[in-house]
Amino acid sequence: MKIINQLILGDNLEILKKLESESIDLIYLDPPFFSNRNYEVIWGDAGEVRSFQDRWSGGMDHYIAWLKERVEQMHRILKPTGSIFLHCDWHANAYIRVEILDKIFGMNNFVNEIIWKRTTTHNDAKQGAKHFGRVNDTIFFYSKETKKYKYYSQFERYTSEYIAASYNKQDPDGRRFKASDLSAAKPGGDTSYDFHGTKPPKGRYWAYSKENMEQFEREGSIYYSDSGKPYLKHYLDEMPGNSVDDLWFNCVYKNKGERIGYPTQKPEALLERILKCASKEGDVVLDPFCGGGTTIAVADKLNRQWIGIDQSVQAVKVTEFRLNQQQDLFSKPFILQLHKYDYDTLRFKNAFEFEAWIVQQYGGTSNSKQRNDFGLDGKTTNNTPIQVKRSDNIGRNVIDNFLSAVQRSDKKLFEKNIAEGKPIGYIIAFTFGKGAIQEVARLKNHENIIIQLVTVEEIVPIAKKPTLTVEVQPLSTDKKGIHEIHFIATGNSPAGVEFFSWDFDYKEPAFKAEILLDKKGEQTWKFKPGQHSIAVKVIDNDGLENIEVIKLKVNGNVERN
Ligand SMILES: C[S@@+](CC[C@H](N)C(=O)[O-])C[C@H]1O[C@@H](n2cnc3c(N)ncnc32)[C@H](O)[C@@H]1O
């Protein structure tokens, strides 16, 4: 199965360049705004700060050039039926439209300039600002090809004021409806007939034929006013609502719980509308500035495939945990691509999976047969054998066995490689013992046989995960036996600790954090009497993580077991 769903750490320019042309259905991007202000730095980790300096250093021209080369890539990877939604604000929206979108996508591919009301209030006025409160953002919607792009109309619910004023009548069962006039200004055939004792008003005609009117009558769709005049009923529950226009006022956070706690997080309702109007199930959605993963979380819920990119480790890991919160056993898997691999995860991975993966990373082809392969796990592009040992401290016996397997598997190639002074094979392992190293040296010096020993670290960057300890400090119990407990998590990593996440009702193995982003590592939580399982994660600057599970028994006092 090809896994499209991917969360990638890195500068989006580099990653976009590697994506296939015309492979994406919908792109939403919410790049950092143009302002030389500290509030633009959300996560504060090395990746984000680098990007902040990178785009800001030369003013508006520099910012536009920085964004433009990225949007050029986005245009390339969009399918002809695809579209892009670029989220920005007053700082640079005019420049972005003229200098980037019109130039790359073309003016004729402009679809909408959406005004999203981001907040209802703005405090600047109270502080004496000499301008109206700036409460909106702009979202530019461009298609790749005018005639081909996907668009599915969206509707929003009528306001309660509108319902009260227009859908002001009810059937005996309480069904609300609106009554519309059944007469028309122009005659259309025999439309002056007497309908149940009523003629059309003077100078007007019935809008429908008598047959149709009778049909409405049979269906119970006609409402008679006190004077006996017939009207057609339009039921509220059959109406889709108002079709959405380009002023978006209602896309707000559903509840307090939706907010993760950083300033530029967008509401899921906003992304839901964008994804529903320009993509369908199974389509591939890309967010190259995914931040805390709003687009990705919504795409996953709406059964779209997705790719999320961010340069900040914190952003990528928060997105991962956010996905974990909402996923279950039936959810589609996703790949998390960091800069470094965790030694323990690789070391204890399924052996076949590891062999195939590391051979590929080395540029070879893995041996899919698994049997009768003389213990060889793959080959290089010129068919020279590769063997993988998913362990440390490889001994001399591995070299002996490998040598004989290589000879038996293809004697001609073995002799040819010796004659040409090339390696007869490669052994990949985490580390090699002294015996193996000495034997390889002896073979080379005395028998002209070269066996290349390759460590996993030479192929992929690896690091050890951070360490973690958690201290539990019971605080107080109330009358109902509810205990308040303070936790202090301490992490350690040569790469530097970034943040902690907490799941106070941990059900192994699913980590569904209540607190996603805790930079300090301290939490206070209340527990009812009973057994509790709490999981804490520490995340370092490489994005590597460790988990500690705490089992507590709360019963007047607190026992940690
Ligand atoms: C405004 S935030 C996105 C917020 C997101 N829409 C949400 O709802 O959470 C912009 C993000 O772009 C990221 N970013 C900045 N420069 C980047 C780059 N060159 N490559 C990838 N991500 C970048 C930042 O780390 C930040 O998370």
- Are residues 213 and 206 in contact, defined by beta-carbon separation less than 8 angstroms? yes
Confidence class of residue 371 from pLDDT cuts 50, 70 and 90? low
pLDDT tens, position by position, 124-141: 666 788 888 889 999 999
Return the higher-pLDDT residue of 533 and 49. 533
Which atom of ligand 1 is closest in space to residue 70's alpha carbon? 19
Determine whether domain 6-153+245-337 maps to CATH 3.10.520.10.
Answer: no
The reported pTM is: 0.87
Q: 344-459: which CATH number, 3.40.50, 3.30.70, 3.40.1350, 3.30.160?
A: 3.40.1350
| Number of Cβ atoms within 10 Å of the Cβ of 195 | 18
Rounded to whole angstroms, how far apart are CA atoms 551 and 528? 14
pLDDT of residue 351: 86
Task: Kindly report, as residue ranges, where domains of CATH 2.60.40.10 are found in the chain.
Answer: 464-560
**CATH T-level assignment (fold) for domain 464-560:** Immunoglobulin-like (2.60.40)
Which atom of ligand 1 is closest in space to residue 260's alpha carbon? 9
Question: Which of the listed residues 16, 289, 296, 337 should we mutate to test ligand 1's pocket, taking the one with most ligand atoms within 8 A of CB?
Answer: 289
CA 491 / ligand 1 centre spacing (Å)? 26
pLDDT of residue 372: 57
Confidence class of residue 3 from pLDDT cuts 50, 70 and 90? low
| Element holding 274 (H helix, E strand) | helix 268-278
The percentage of residues in the chain with a pLDDT greater than 70, rounded to a whole number, is 94
Query: Which of 10-14, 59-63, 482-486 is the least confident region?
Result: 59-63
Rounded to whole angstroms, how far apart are CA atoms 364 and 382? 9
Question: Which of the listed residues 68, 310, 317, 323 should we mutate to test ligand 1's pocket, taking the one with most ligand atoms within 8 A of CB?
Answer: 310
CA 29 / ligand 1 centre spacing (Å)? 8
Nearest protein Cα to ligand 1, atom 27: 291
| Element holding 6 (H helix, E strand) | strand 6-9
Q: Is the pLDDT of residue 531 over 70?
A: yes
CA 86 / ligand 1 centre spacing (Å)? 13
Copy the structure tokens of residue 324: 């974990």
Q: Is the pLDDT of residue 37 over 80?
A: no
pLDDT of residue 267: 95
Closest-CA residue to 302 (of 269, 265, 334, 256):
269
E strand intervals along 430-514: 450-455, 462-463, 467-477, 483-492, 497-503
Q: What is the mean pLDDT of residues 56-68?
A: 86
Half-sphere exposure of 418 (CA within 13 A, CB side): 15
Confidence class of residue 424 from pLDDT cuts 50, 70 and 90? very high
Q: What is the mean pLDDT of residues 20-46?
A: 82
| Number of Cβ atoms within 10 Å of the Cβ of 84 | 26
Which atom of ligand 1 is closest in space to residue 12's alpha carbon? 20
Mean pLDDT of the chain: 92
Nearest protein Cα to ligand 1, atom 4: 291
Q: What is the mean pLDDT of residues 257-265?
A: 80
Copy the structure tokens of residue 159: 């306001």
Nearest protein Cα to ligand 1, atom 5: 291
| Number of Cβ atoms within 10 Å of the Cβ of 531 | 12
DSSP3 helix / strand / coil % (the chain, rounded to 5): 30, 30, 40
Q: Is the pLDDT of residue 38 over 80?
A: no
pLDDT tens, position by position, 493-522: 999 999 999 999 999 989 999 999 999 999
Q: Is the pLDDT of residue 123 over 70?
A: no
Rounded to whole angstroms, how far apart are CA atoms 138 and 269? 16
User: Residues with beta carbon inside 6 Å of ligand 1?
Assistant: 11-12, 30, 32, 42-43, 48, 51, 264-266, 289, 291-292, 294, 309-312, 315
Q: From its phi and psi, is residue 67 left (phi > 0), alpha (psi between -120 and 50) or beta?
A: alpha
Rounded to whole angstroms, how far apart are CA atoms 307 and 299? 10
Return the higher-pLDDT residue of 474 and 42. 474
Give burial (CB, 10 Å; 0-12/13-18/19+) of 91. Answer: middle
Rounded to whole angstroms, how far apart are CA atoms 489 and 128? 43
Question: Tokens 């909106």 — which residue?
Answer: 136
Closest-CA residue to 466 (of 436, 504, 497, 424):
497
CA 349 / ligand 1 centre spacing (Å)? 32
Return the higher-pLDDT residue of 470 and 40. 470
Strands 385-388 and 378-379: antiparallel
- Are residues 42 and 262 in contact, defined by beta-carbon separation less than 8 angstroms? yes
Which atom of ligand 1 is closest in space to residue 312's alpha carbon? 25
Angle between helices 294-301 and 313-326 (to 10 degrees): 30
- Are residues 228 and 197 in contact, defined by beta-carbon separation less than 8 angstroms? yes
> What are 404-407's contacts with CB under 8 Å, separation 24+?
405/374, 405/375, 405/376, 406/374, 406/376
| Element holding 276 (H helix, E strand) | helix 268-278
Question: Which of the listed residues 273, 311, 313, 318 should we mutate to test ligand 1's pocket, taking the one with most ligand atoms within 8 A of CB?
Answer: 311
Q: Is the pLDDT of residue 438 over 90?
A: yes
Handedness of CA 284, 286, 290, 295 (dihedral sign): negative
Name the amino acid, one letter, at 414.
F
- Beta bridge mates, 501: 537
Which atom of ligand 1 is closest in space to residue 48's alpha carbon? 25
Rounded to whole angstroms, how far apart are CA atoms 44 and 48? 6
CA 51 / ligand 1 centre spacing (Å)? 9
Q: Where do runs of H (alpha helix) occur along 327-474? A: 343-347, 351-361, 396-409, 411-419, 434-447, 456-459
